[in-house]
């Protein structure tokens, strides 16, 4: 654990990680009971998202992928909004605060990287001292969008920080079957930018790496690729069953290094955390999650024909025709139910 962070900072990081894990657990439970759609758990990867979020400044721009609940939370997105998003309600993307500058969650693999590079081009063209952060899984590094974005960032010295959440699995494909490179961070070499590998289960290490990369980007010194090495303790999504392809012993070993217990132990060993503090935190977080769930479930359902309006600035005649068709099918479904 880095000694550059004081205990107040570490306790705050711990609090954030505990909150996100509690939200994650509740989201999976909601999906299992039919109250949420497919959900991508971030179990075991909380240090990556929290480390990024605590390093970013409000003026930065974030281009998230689908496992970035933790960073979105620190950007000011309400916990109930995160549930709303995975409940299929696009109104969850009506971000406020710092997140109002950010892009929506990206589900297609790696397309957020080219979009982030585009935002970085705009910032540089306007001579704005800001930076863009984007993130992706290890599987995304096998996609063309990944290489295209990094190539442009290197060529034009863009203010772009790309964080790879290397959780070892692209759904059921293990890391070693995806690429011949020894590390994912070394892919930065081909783009002419700096590549860094950090311990993704150490929130302070992630924070330090992202902070340094952001400072470099804002000062006009170009892009950085950061590989945060962690492990996906849960399924890829609630539509997946990782027990079908993953060794039990490997998962059991990974639990021994998971980020939350690791930080809690470190704080406790330094007499900076107690059983009483843990009990109080768990009670506080539970109340936060219960409030978020209540707000999520109380929200009036979004009309099914509205989602196209969240995808396009202008509704063309063809889109309006599709919208009418969707609405008619929805009403027909209700009549037949």
Choice among 245, 246, 268, 296 that is catalytic: 245
Active site residue 176: no
Answer yes or no: are the C-beta atoms of 190 and 149 closer than 8 Å.
no
The CA distance from 178 to 176, in Å, is 6
Among 70, 61, 59, residue whose Cα is nearest residue 17: 70
Choice among 78, 218, 236, 296 that is catalytic: 236
User: Would the CA dihedral through 213, 214, 219, 224 be positive or negative?
Assistant: positive
Q: Residue 93 gets which letter from DSSP?
A: G
Active site residue 5: no
The tokens describing 193, both together, are 């930018």
The tokens describing 68, both together, are 């970035």
Identify the helix (H) or strand (E) that includes residue 25. helix 7-32
The tokens describing 315, both together, are 């509704």
Give the CA distances from residue 86 to residues 23, 72, 175, 215, 301, in Å, rounded to whole numbers and listed in that order: 12, 13, 27, 33, 13
Instruction: Please count the other Cβ atoms lying within 10 Å of the Cβ belonging to residue 23.
Output: 23
Choice among 16, 21, 75, 232 that is catalytic: 232
CA 76, distance to chain mean position in Å, is 13
Give the CA distances from residue 85 to residues 9, 38, 60, 134, in Å, rounded to whole numbers and listed in that order: 29, 10, 22, 19
Active site residue 143: no
Catalytic residues: 232, 236, 245
């Amino acid at each position: 654990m880095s000694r550059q962070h004081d205990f107040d900072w570490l306790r705050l990081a711990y609090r954030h990680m505990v909150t996100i894990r509690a939200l994650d657990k509740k989201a999976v439970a909601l999906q299992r009971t039919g109250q949420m759609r497919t959900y991508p758990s971030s179990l075991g990867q909380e240090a990556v998202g929290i480390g990024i979020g605590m390093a970013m400044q409000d003026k930065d721009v974030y281009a998230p992928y689908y496992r970035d609940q933790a960073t979105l939370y620190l950007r000011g997105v309400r916990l109930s909004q995160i549930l709303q998003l995975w409940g299929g309600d696009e109104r969850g993307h009506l971000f406020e605060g710092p997140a109002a500058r950010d892009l929506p969650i990206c589900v297609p693999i790696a397309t957020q990287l080219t979009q982030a590079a585009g935002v970085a081009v705009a910032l540089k063209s306007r001579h704005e001292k800001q930076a863009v952060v984007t993130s992706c899984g290890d599987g995304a590094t096998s996609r063309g969008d990944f290489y295209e974005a990094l190539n442009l960032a290197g060529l034009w010295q863009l203010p772009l920080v790309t964080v790879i959440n290397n959780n070892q699995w692209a759904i059921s494909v293990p890391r070693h079957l995806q690429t011949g490179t020894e590390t994912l961070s070394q892919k930065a070499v081909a783009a002419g930018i700096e590549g860094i590998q950090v311990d993704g289960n150490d929130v302070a290490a992630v924070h330090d790496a992202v902070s340094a990369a952001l400072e470099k980007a804002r000062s006009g010194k170009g892009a950085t690729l950061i590989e945060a090495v962690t492990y996906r303790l849960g399924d890829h999504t609630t539509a997946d069953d990782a027990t079908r392809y993953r060794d039990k012993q490997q998962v059991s070993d990974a639990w021994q290094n998971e980020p939350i217990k690791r930080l809690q132990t470190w704080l406790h060993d330094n007499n900076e955390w107690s059983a009483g503090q843990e009990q109080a935190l768990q009670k506080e977080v539970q109340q936060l999650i219960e409030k978020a769930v209540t707000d999520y479930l109380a929200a009036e359902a979004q009309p099914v024909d509205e989602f196209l309006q969240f995808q396009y600035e202008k509704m063309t005649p063809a889109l309006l025709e599709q919208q009418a068709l969707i609405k008619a099918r929805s009403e027909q479904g209700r009549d037949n139910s």
